[in-house]
Amino acid sequence: GDRSRGHRQMRKNAAGGAAALELEMSTGTFEYDSDQDADTAAEYGEERASLIMGGFGNGGGGGGGRGLAKQRRGRNGNTANGADINAAAANSNGGGALSLTPKAKTALLVLAGLAAITFLFVDNAGVALDPARADAASGGEIDEGALYRPGASPHGNSFGGENNVGHPGGAKAASRGVGVAFEEIIIPASNFGMASRSLNAENVVNLLGHYMHDEHRSPYGSHLYDRGKEELDGEQARYVEKMAKVREEWGAWSFRDPRPDRPVANFDAVDYKDLPNDQLPEGCWQTDESYVKDFIREARGLVDRVQEGIYAEYGSPLKGGDGTTLTDEEKAERARRWGPKIVPADDEGAENDPNKDDPNGIATMSSVAFDGLVRKLLHALITNDEWYAVLGGHSAAAGHGNQFQQNRQITFHHLMEPVFDKLGVRLVSRNMGQGGVGTLQFSIGGKDMYGEADIMEWDSAMTEKGNTVDLWNKQAILSGERVPVILSPFHFNVMDETNGTAMMGNLLVDAPMVPATPDDEKQAEAMPWAIRHLDGRAEKYNAICWEPRSDLTPVENQDAHPGSQVSWHPGWRYHQFQGRKVALILLKGLAAALDRWEAGIEADGFPLAEDYWHVGGLYNTIREHLRTHVNTPNEVEVEGGEKTDVRSPCENAFPFLPRVCRVAMHGYGMWEPRAHKSYDLLNIIEPAPNGYRPHWVEKNWYSGFDVLPFVQRIPDGEVDPHAIAIATTFPAPDLDHDWIEDEDSGGGGTNSTPGANEPPTRRWLREATHRAFHNHLTVVDVGSLELAQRRAKSKSQQRRRLGDDSEAITPGRGWVAKGWAAGEGFCDGSPQSECNRGEHNKCMSVGHNDNHRDVAGSTLSGWLVFTVPNVKEGIIMARMEWWCGGNELLTKEWSEVNNGQTLDTAPWNVTEPWSQLSTRRLMAVKEEHPMHPDDYDSHRRLGKPTPEQLVLDDFKMDIAINGKITKTMEREEWISHIGEMSKNCAIWPLMDDISYAERDWAEGDDGETVEVAIRFRQESAPHQGYCLSHIYYA
């Protein structure tokens, strides 16, 4: 998305008329348009007032700004309904000045009066506009006198309130079209040319987060459960009691900003958001020394509380059951056992490290990696940026056997999201693991497949070994905008290749700091719940396929639990523990970052000097070292008369195209998860003359988050770090949660809107909740003028550039989309994903994202034409499958190419029976592709077909570039590429033109758009299908 804030309009709802205020973010001034025509005014008058400040930061690297999720930042997401005066009464303190004409001033006064009147009569006006109290609340108790302002400080609590549509107050707001699901979604993006789009609108809306992190409403008390009202009310009462106890025992977040308004620094104006301090607007929070010092103190308390919560959860509490507290020596020993263990980055230092043989610790990190982690965290804190955590791996890493929400990456996210939120940072976590394969299918596409990453973990040792893993490391560094901290056991020569600057570490799998579960069951039950049977000998899985709900009843009877519960797939406790390890790494980093912030101010003055937190220099240094070192034009060099291999392991893995190891790669793909919708291969396929192109027919059967399974609740009395993380001293929003049970047990009752004094029924609440679940999101991409101009230029190049023989390169109408789960969904690897929800799924809420999909076609399908943007290095490749197509394709009953309708322009319609033919056929035979196989290789070659059987002697593949056939690959050459460099990953080069890389590209030029087309020819077996799943390019 586009990072720059640009222009935003503020709409005011005032009786029968309206006035428009426009905020010019670059100057910080308001302009009033008094000549707005009546029709437009009336349109504005129908909308809720909303000043969208563009967020309190944005996501570098297409990460997108914190935009919408932070623009309505009242306590727990609650805002005044009716005329939302988010920041309209902003005065001219500090940065932006209120610049109004006399007419505008009069109009604004009228609006202010109307708003004040409206405020008195609007229901649920639980958030006042008065400034918050500057003094922190005492202890951990709710400060009932605190009134928190929406749209102000980024350091509050975003979750819950009217945005928690799983509870009556949020459902009632949704019934009026109020809440984050009904706002314009602002997706800012980087102006950095290599940045990958990584923030989806669903990540911003994040209804799951509002449901899970609401400190005042129990997720188990939702009206969406198929449980009686009395039971749900009991859950709510126990939750309120639990959270009160957490605040009392552990403390709570109580930071408030005393200022009623602040200007917002625009970090988007510079690369990497490295804004010089002298360009910070006066009055923004980063320039308020008192604010910063109070924030550091409050943040340090939060980090310490959550860290201690994890220690206590796993049997290492600060305070024992007898009331004694660990001594300093005992705390030091605990820190040694848990780590992470920081080791010297250089070989000599590592060799002389006295702790080198110490088996303890959750992870090992080089001192360079930890220092880089601290710098990156400081940068995120100061710029209110996104923080991207990405995991790539196999089925065990993906969490097969468990529900998707139980996997290690997502359990990490559920704990750390509310922590980062209070620190002003949006956490985006993705599990990009896939069953039965390695990581090469994604890593060769760079960050376009994985999304931007700040910390990136590799875990695919069961399915991937060897030199291709070196590409994973290199593309993690080279591609995208951000250079991540890399956690992997296989570093290869990356440290030498980057002159010791790469940020490398390794997450350890052992747990020497956790006591083993005794065989005696009574003794086992006395252990903390989180570590009991951590080894998986008992109670390994508690995943279910469906939690009974009041709003949905699946068409198919649901299985008791997900499949793939096999010996090599760890259970939920292991996943949670691995997630807690990553959480501890970041908590340690945050603690060090806060210390460095404070020490830096003391040493070099306020605000913190740029040398402490800017990241551009670090990223550029690492990348330049790697590009310079991995740049070997010859495979061998002569030393003393003998030949020596001088290429990196990555280059040896790609002897036909070693350049992929030293340039930033990009890609489009069919497989899921996929970090952003923009990189779907279907997006770049050109339609046939009649408008047809491969598509999906099936849709998800339901939308919205899955309710939490009751069987997975944390037992009473156990330490709950998540409750510690979400606790604040802010009182509950003034929302009406009253409701009554339906008149009949079958979910009947009235659907009518309840009267003024009549509480709604459960059915009415369900339908209101579903209004938020099904609302079509309005997304606005915002970018800098320079970026817009570049994209416009690129778009102008995206036209079909055919040669003289245009008919030969006409896009075919015989290609079809197919896959394990053939339907549309949102599968980006994040907790917000909604995957594999087909109507006839028998494990509906398992939620796993990995899904192998392809575009399939035969000789009769015609040309597959796709447009590849921003080609700068002259590299285009395709991942294909020689064995997957079969004969059950759209062309099964055809006897000639495109069924003899190559140039037919009669409009294609998705409702036409023939357009859905292939989907039905594929659904009928999808048993050949199990949903989540433990070993995909054995299934995909059921019956063991051979290339000799499927790729016959007369096989050919034509390749056309920009409308001209540039190569015909005969069978022998084509077969030479079916060898898999990594499990189930064979790659065919389509274009390798070094002249692109040798061009004198103008500064800021993103490259050239290239049209590529392929077709298969095989007269002896014209119906034999082949598949293409990814396009990679640079």
Whether 412 and 582 have beta carbons less than 8 Å apart is answered as yes
pLDDT band at 924 (very low <50, low <70, confident <90, very high): very low
Whether 533 and 539 have beta carbons less than 8 Å apart is answered as yes
Q: Does the pLDDT value for residue 1033 go beyond 90?
A: yes
Whether 739 and 230 have beta carbons less than 8 Å apart is answered as no
pLDDT at 191: 73
User: Averaged over 513-526, what is the pLDDT?
Assistant: 91
The residue to which tokens 């923080």 are assigned: 387
Q: Give the amino acid at 945.
A: P
Which H or E run contains 621? Answer: helix 616-629
Bridge partner residues of 863 (DSSP): 811
Backbone angles phi, psi at 881, to 5 degrees: -130, 125
pLDDT at 112: 45
Long-range pairs of 538-542 with CB within 8 A, sequence gap ≥ 24: 539/571, 539/573, 540/565, 540/570, 540/571, 540/572, 540/573, 541/401, 541/402, 541/565, 541/571, 541/572, 542/571, 542/572, 542/709, 542/711, 542/712
pLDDT at 934: 44
Whether 455 and 582 have beta carbons less than 8 Å apart is answered as yes
Q: Does the pLDDT value for residue 549 go beyond 80?
A: yes
Between CA 776 and CA 687 the distance in angstroms is 25
pTM value? 0.85
Which H or E run contains 415? Answer: helix 408-422
pLDDT tens-digit profile of 489-513? Answer: 999 999 999 999 999 999 998 888 9
pLDDT at 633: 60
What residues contact residue 856 under an 8 Å CB cut-off, 6+ apart?
815, 816, 817, 818, 884, 885, 889, 1025, 1026, 1027, 1028
Q: Which of 52-61, 268-277, 548-557 has the highest mean pLDDT?
A: 548-557
pLDDT band at 270 (very low <50, low <70, confident <90, very high): confident
Could you tell me which of 735, 681, 603, 789 has the C-alpha nearest to residue 176? 735
pLDDT at 620: 97
Whether 136 and 256 have beta carbons less than 8 Å apart is answered as yes
Between CA 294 and CA 148 the distance in angstroms is 17
Backbone angles phi, psi at 173, to 5 degrees: -65, -40
pLDDT at 785: 43
Between CA 815 and CA 918 the distance in angstroms is 10
Could you tell me which of 392, 394, 398, 402 has the C-alpha nearest to residue 566? 402
Q: Give the amino acid at 231.
A: E
pLDDT tens-digit profile of 169-182? Answer: 999 999 999 999 99
Of the listed ranges 342-356, 630-644, 970-984, the least confidently predicted one is 630-644
pLDDT band at 360 (very low <50, low <70, confident <90, very high): confident
Could you tell me which of 268, 274, 277 has the C-alpha nearest to residue 63? 268
% of the chain with per-residue pLDDT over 70: 76
Between CA 10 and CA 25 the distance in angstroms is 12
What is the CA angle 329-333-336, rounded to 5? 140
Q: Indicate the burial class of 110 (C-beta count within 10 angstroms; 0-12, 13-18, 19 or more).
A: middle
Between CA 215 and CA 720 the distance in angstroms is 13
Between CA 796 and CA 194 the distance in angstroms is 20
Q: What is the pLDDT of the chain when averaged over all its residues?
A: 82
Q: Does the pLDDT value for residue 136 go beyond 90?
A: no
Q: Does the pLDDT value for residue 460 go beyond 60?
A: yes
Q: Does the pLDDT value for residue 115 go beyond 80?
A: no
222 half-sphere exposure, CB direction, 13 A CA radius = 29
Whether 636 and 643 have beta carbons less than 8 Å apart is answered as yes
The residue to which tokens 């109004």 are assigned: 100
The residue to which tokens 């196989």 are assigned: 933
Whether 389 and 409 have beta carbons less than 8 Å apart is answered as yes
According to the 3-state scheme, what is the secondary structure of 106-141?
HHHHHHHHHHHHHHHHCCCCCCCCCCCCCCCCCCCC
Whether 837 and 825 have beta carbons less than 8 Å apart is answered as yes
Backbone angles phi, psi at 592, to 5 degrees: -65, -35
pLDDT band at 144 (very low <50, low <70, confident <90, very high): low
Q: Does the pLDDT value for residue 789 go beyond 60?
A: no
- Using DSSP's 3-state secondary structure scheme, residue 898 falls into helix
pLDDT tens-digit profile of 572-621? Answer: 999 999 999 999 999 999 999 999 999 999 999 999 999 999 999 999 99
Two structure tokens written together for 154: 């980024």
pLDDT tens-digit profile of 46-99? Answer: 332 222 222 223 233 333 334 343 333 333 433 333 323 233 323 223 333 333
User: 854-885 b/e with 16+ CB inside 10 Å = b?
Assistant: bbbbbbbbbbbbbbbbbbbbbbbbbbbbbbbb
Between CA 174 and CA 184 the distance in angstroms is 15
Q: Does the pLDDT value for residue 25 go beyond 80?
A: no
Between CA 529 and CA 514 the distance in angstroms is 12
User: Averaged over 919-925, what is the pLDDT?
Assistant: 46
Q: How big is the chain, counted in residues?
A: 1034
pLDDT band at 744 (very low <50, low <70, confident <90, very high): low
Bridge partner residues of 1032 (DSSP): 667, 877
User: Averaged over 479-488, what is the pLDDT?
Assistant: 97
Between CA 637 and CA 895 the distance in angstroms is 55
User: Averaged over 224-250, what is the pLDDT?
Assistant: 98
Two structure tokens written together for 41: 């005014």
User: 31-53 b/e with 16+ CB inside 10 Å = b?
Assistant: ebeeeeeeeebeebbeebbbbbb
For β-strands 341-343 and 363-366, DSSP reports them as: parallel
Two structure tokens written together for 390: 């990405």
Between CA 419 and CA 426 the distance in angstroms is 9
Bridge partner residues of 341 (DSSP): 364
Could you tell me which of 899, 823, 827, 830 has the C-alpha nearest to residue 861? 899
Two structure tokens written together for 128: 């006042």
Between CA 391 and CA 598 the distance in angstroms is 32
pLDDT band at 912 (very low <50, low <70, confident <90, very high): low
User: Averaged over 624-637, what is the pLDDT?
Assistant: 76
pLDDT band at 141 (very low <50, low <70, confident <90, very high): confident
DSSP string, 267-312: GGGSGGG---GGGSPTTSGGG-HHHHHHHHHHHHHHHHHHHHHHHH
pLDDT at 750: 45
% of the chain with per-residue pLDDT over 90: 67
Whether 374 and 596 have beta carbons less than 8 Å apart is answered as yes
Two structure tokens written together for 898: 């495109």
Whether 302 and 728 have beta carbons less than 8 Å apart is answered as no
pLDDT at 352: 66
Q: Checking phi first, is residue 640 left (phi over 0); if not, alpha (psi -120 to 50) or beta? A: left
Q: Does the pLDDT value for residue 32 go beyond 60?
A: no
Between 747 and 126, residue with greater pLDDT: 747
* Number of Cβ atoms within 10 Å of the Cβ of 542: 16
